[in-house]
Amino acid sequence: MEVQQKNGVTVIIMDERFDATVAQKLKDTVKNLAEQSKIQLVIDLSKTRFIDSSGCGALVASLRALIKNNGDMKIAGPSSQAKSLFQLTRLHKVFEICDDVEVAIRSFSQNT
């Protein structure tokens, strides 16, 4: 998991697997960021081949933490497995999902 800044947007790049081994780390990272300032966050899943319910739960928790602090979050580049899981759990209706990070970052600037 890696945190970067791109054009004023925070990007968190997730690893190949997004499961219980990393879910708490993401939640803690986003909570800390959200409490410091109002942030626009992209979760980059382009390298993530596999996500499970722990990963999904961490994404929901992250979105809630951001909204509570007037921030926002988008998800970029999910794999076919991630897309299927979002569909099955109906999280595709909750998350704003973009094809890649650049599209996600541009969509923030278009919304402001």
Partner 1 sequence: MENEFIVRIQAPAQIIMLRPLDVFVRHLIQQLPAFEGSQEIVDNLELAFSEAFTNICRHAYRSQNKGPVSIEIKVESDQLEFRFEDNGETFDPDKVKCPNLDVPGEGGLGIWLIRQVMDEYIYFCENGEKNVLRLIKRFSP
CA 96 to chain CA centroid, nearest Å? 9
For 61, residues 6+ apart whose C-beta sits below 8 A from its C-beta are 27, 30, 31
Q: Please identify, among the stretches 2-10, 16-24, 38-46, 99-107, the one whose residues bind partner 1 according to the rule CB under 8 A.
A: 16-24
Segments of 22-84 assigned E as strands: 40-44, 50-51, 72-76
Residue 109 CB, shortest distance to partner 1, in Å, is 27
Rule CB under 8 A: say whether 87 interacts with partner 1: no
Rule CB under 8 A: say whether 21 interacts with partner 1: yes
Rule CB under 8 A: say whether 103 interacts with partner 1: no
Rule CB under 8 A: say whether 20 interacts with partner 1: yes
Q: Please identify, among the stretches 2-10, 34-42, 47-55, 69-77, the one whose residues bind partner 1 according to the rule CB under 8 A.
A: 47-55
Burial class (CB in 10 A: 0-12, 13-18, 19+), 111: exposed
Report residue 24 as tokens: 């708490």
> By the criterion CB under 8 A, which residues form the site for partner 1?
17, 19-21, 50, 52-54, 56-58, 60-61, 64, 80-81, 84-85, 88-91, 94
